[in-house]
Every structure is written in C-alpha cells, then in structure tokens.
Amino acid sequence: MTVRPVIMVGFVAVAVTSLARFQPEGSVIVVDEPDVIRNRELRPKTDEAPVVRELIAWEYRLEGAADAFYNTHPDLDPAAIAPLQEYATPFAARLAERYGLPTGGYGALRILRDKALLRKVSAAAGILNPESAEVTGPDGVRAFMAAHPGPAVLKPANRQAALGTRVLVSADEVDEAWAETTAMDEGVMETDRGFELRMLVERCVRGREYSVEMLVERGRVLFGNVTGKDLYPGSRPIELGHLVPADIPGELDALLRAETERLLRSVGFGTGTVHCEWIVEDGRPYLVECAGRFPGDGIVDLIDRAYRVDLVRDYWTLMKGEPLTADLPAKAPGAAAVRFLHTGEAGVVESVTGVEAARELPGVEECSVSVEPGAEVRELRSSWDRVGSAVTEAATGAEAYAAAVRALETIELKVRPARA
C-alpha cells in the first residue's frame, strides 16, 4: 500500500529531521520557490534525506499559486499540508482547502500574514493594538510621529524575522531609517522577482514582550504555552532569548492565553498552530503580530523539553485529521531556555573559544557557534545576523535562564573591523 505523502511548504532542515522520526521513507514532499531552491542549494539537501520523496519548485508566493498547483497535481492525494515558513502560510492553507484537508483557513491566514490587516480585524474585536498607520514614505512617518508624540516603530507589514524593524526616538532619524529598512533583503531566502514592500509606523509600546503558542483543532485550543522574551538593547527589536514557560504570575499567563484565543476567534482560525506576540504595557497586552505557523528561534524545542511533549508529531497528527492519543499537559513540569549570540559589531571573526567549555556547564543541552575564523559577521539588523546559541533545561525558569546566560558568557568571539 502506497503511503499518502505529507506536503511541507518552505524547506526547513530541522523540520525534515523531525518528520523523519515518524514519517516513513519517501513520504514527504517539499515545495519551495525555484529561486530559493537554487540560491540555498536545496536539491542536494532533499536528495540526502530518505524521508523526502520529491522537491517541487513552485512560485507559491504568487496569487492563485495554490489553485494552479492543485490543478497541476489533482491526483497527489496528500495526507496533510503545512507551512514551515511565514511566507508559505496562505499558500498552504488554500492548498489544504483544495485537497479537503484540515487547515487554519485561507481567509484567516491571509489576515495573519498581513500586519496592517490584522490590526484592523483584531481591533474591531476589541483587542488592544498600538496606534498604527500604513505609510509610503518618510513624510508619512514624520506626520505620524507629530500626531503621536514619543518613540515610534517603523516596520514592514509583510516581512519576517524582525527584518527592517526600527525604533525611532526622533523625527530626525526618519530619512536614514526609511532608507535602511526599505533596502533590507533576505539574501538566499529572497526570490529574484523581488517582494512588494508595505510599511507601517506605530506607537512604540513599552513593556515586556511575550509570545503565546497554541495547538488548535477546529477552533478549540488543545495546548497553550506562554514564552518569555528578551530583546537586544538598541533601536532594533531583535530577540536575544526565550524562556519556556514564561516566569510570570498566573493571572498574566491566563490573560495572554485568553487574548490569543480571542484573536483566533476574530480571524476565524480553524486547525493548526499559531505563534502570537504581545507586549504588556501597564498590565494590558497589546498585539504585536500573530503567525499561523510554528514559531522559529527553537521555541518548539523548548516547549518539548519543558512540557515533555512532541509538539511536531501532535501537530502533523491534527493536520492529517487524526485524533491525538492523549491530552496535552496544561502545565510544564520543567523549564527550558535559549540565548542567542552576536558580537555586537560587524567585522571579520579572528577566533572562537569556549564553546566546548560552555557545553559542559550544568543545564546546557546544546551550544553552537555558526561562524569560524575568517567569516564575516554583519551588524545586527535581523534575526539572521545572530551567530550562535545555547539551549538549557532546568527545574525552574530562573535556573534555565541563568544557565543560558552562563553558557554564552563562557564563549569568546573576537572580531576585527572589516577593511573598507
């Protein structure tokens, strides 16, 4: 009997590894953009993975791409379809609808994918959003800042990985910030045809940042978690680390979960997983954004470690329309953390030391640095620019957090300025 394949939209190496734990060989189809396949040299990577049956090149970010794919492959008969990257979410949802499979819903994913549209829809449901406006140039940013005194955030409405996001303290920064944010690109993750860029300017909400991860079946929450976040200091709100579960009072934990559920109802989300980000200002959660996909930054791994679950397997079970074999835990018996490394400056790496010593520290489960001597390190402008991480486990959040900090303090990364 031929096993029905599952379709993964957007190649993620760790996701292929996860699927190989419970999917038989030759049962995964990967769909990705032709330019991204070439730029990332994905064919050798998928060829080397026994679980992958086929890599299909498809311009999935274009309008009508899912319907065209379905009409080209009407007899594919997949068992499940899931997005593994932000830009893949609308395509995967629409494709699942065409094949009659569980999905968060094309309408819901279109809203979640567009930060400006999400602001409009969620605000109508009574969810707190910062004051916000779409802008087409520096004059619009200055006008917004004049009408809303105080720091502002300039960011794309349709990008990922904090790309192009900048905190503005003064209107004097606007021209330089606009030139920088609108010129950002994603390197090998980008398509050659480019990407329409739409910009938002918003009031800068001041407070601690959290994310809520949920596994949902036909609108009913089966699992939820609140993640605590640290950001790098400075004008670019890039994540420095995560703690699972967040070390917060039970009342705030419940409030963040309730607001996330209310958000999902406001967009009509069906089946799948979500990753919603919030900033709590004066005790009230303000929506940052919400993605209809797994979180990045290793948060899924942290959830598995802290809650003793296999969230990826449970997710694919739901996307196949199959029931879970057991209830998921409401509370985590332990805690897990990740902390990310950056040099703080751009330049060329001279030496990397202390990694092995960091791996031997109590509580450290994983520790790695992705650059070697001679490699060029860019200024920290997005999540892609971080160069290492440490993952820890402990009985409490405070212990997991402290272990991650110690691990990165043990690593020494020397960088010399690049020659002009």
Contact assessment for residue 11 and residue 32, using Cβ atoms and an 8 Å cutoff: yes
pLDDT at 220: 96
Per-residue pLDDT of 144-183, as tens digits, reads 999 999 999 998 876 554 566 889 999 999 998 888 877 7
**pLDDT tens, position by position, 32-49:** 999 999 999 999 999 999
pLDDT of residue 38: 93
- 3-state SS, the chain, equals CCCCCEEEECCCHHHHHHHCCCCCCCCEEEEECHHHHHHHCHHHHHHCCCCEEEEEECCCCCCCHHHHHHHHCCCCCCCEEEECCHHHHHHHHHHHHHHCCCCCCHHHHHHHHCHHHHHHHHHHCCCCCCCEEEECCHHHHHHHHHHCCCCEEEEECCCCCCCCCEEECCHHHHHHHHHHHHCCCCHHHCCCCCCCCCEEEEECCCCEEEEEEEEEECCEEEEEEEEEEEECCCCCCCEEEEEECCCCCHHHHHHHHHHHHHHHHHHCCCCEEEEEEEEEECCEEEEEEEECCCCCCCHHHHHHHHHCCCHHHHHHHHHCCCCCCCCCCCCCCCEEEEEEECCCCCEEEEEEECHHHHHCCCCEEEEEECCCCCCEECCCCCHHHCCEEEEEEECCHHHHHHHHHHHHHHCEEEEECCCC
Residue 285, burial from CB neighbour count under 10 angstroms (0-12, 13-18, 19+): buried
Mean pLDDT of 263-284: 97
Domains of the chain in sequence order: 6-101 (3.40.50.20), 131-203 (3.30.1490.20), 208-416 (3.30.470.20)
Whether residue 235 is predicted with pLDDT greater than 90 in this model: the reply is no
Judge whether 241 and 229 are in contact, CB under 8 Å.
yes
Which tokens is 71 given?
């009409």
pLDDT of residue 254: 98
Q: Is 81:6 a contact under the CB 8 Å cutoff? A: yes
Q: What angle do CA 207, 85, 287 make, to 5 degrees?
A: 25
Spell 78-114 as b/e; 16+ CB within 10 A means b: bbbbbbbbbbbbbbbbbbbbbbebbbbbbbbbbbbbb
Confidence of residue 194 (pLDDT cuts 50, 70, 90): low
**Residue 210 main-chain phi, psi, to 5 deg:** -140, 160
26: left (phi over 0), alpha (psi -120 to 50) or beta: left
Please compute the mean of the pLDDT values over residues 88-102 and round it to a whole number.
Answer: 97
Is 297 or 31 the better-scoring residue by pLDDT?
Answer: 31
Q: Tell me the percentage of the chain whose pLDDT exceeds 90.
A: 77
Tokens 């904090």 correspond to 162
Residue 185's pLDDT band (cuts 50, 70, 90): low
The pLDDT of residue 165: 82
The phi, psi pair for 92, rounded to 5°, reads: -65, -40
% of the chain exceeding 70 in pLDDT = 95
CA–CA distances in Å: residue 135 to residues 141, 155, 204, 255, 297: 6, 10, 16, 32, 29
Structure tokens at 294: 């797994």
Q: Which residue has the tokens 């040299």?
A: 41
pLDDT at 190: 65
Question: Is pLDDT above 90 for 206?
Answer: yes
Quick one: average pLDDT of 239-253? 96
Computed over every residue of the chain, the mean pLDDT equals 92
Q: Are 56 and 68 in contact (CB under 8 A)?
A: no
The pair of three-digit structure tokens given for residue 110, joined into one six-digit string? 């279109």
Both tokens of residue 351?
């030496």
pLDDT of residue 238: 85
CB-CB contact of 9 with 88 (8 Å): yes
Phi, psi of 278 (to 5 degrees): -135, 150
Each residue's pLDDT tens digit, 98-132: 999 999 999 999 999 999 999 999 999 999 999 99
How far apart CA 418 and CA 248 sit, in angstroms, is 42
What is the Cα–Cα distance from 150 to 170, expressed in whole angstroms? 8
What are residue 203's DSSP bridge partners?
152
Report whether pLDDT(195) > 80.
no
Distances (CA, A) of 94 to 26, 226, 363: 24, 29, 43
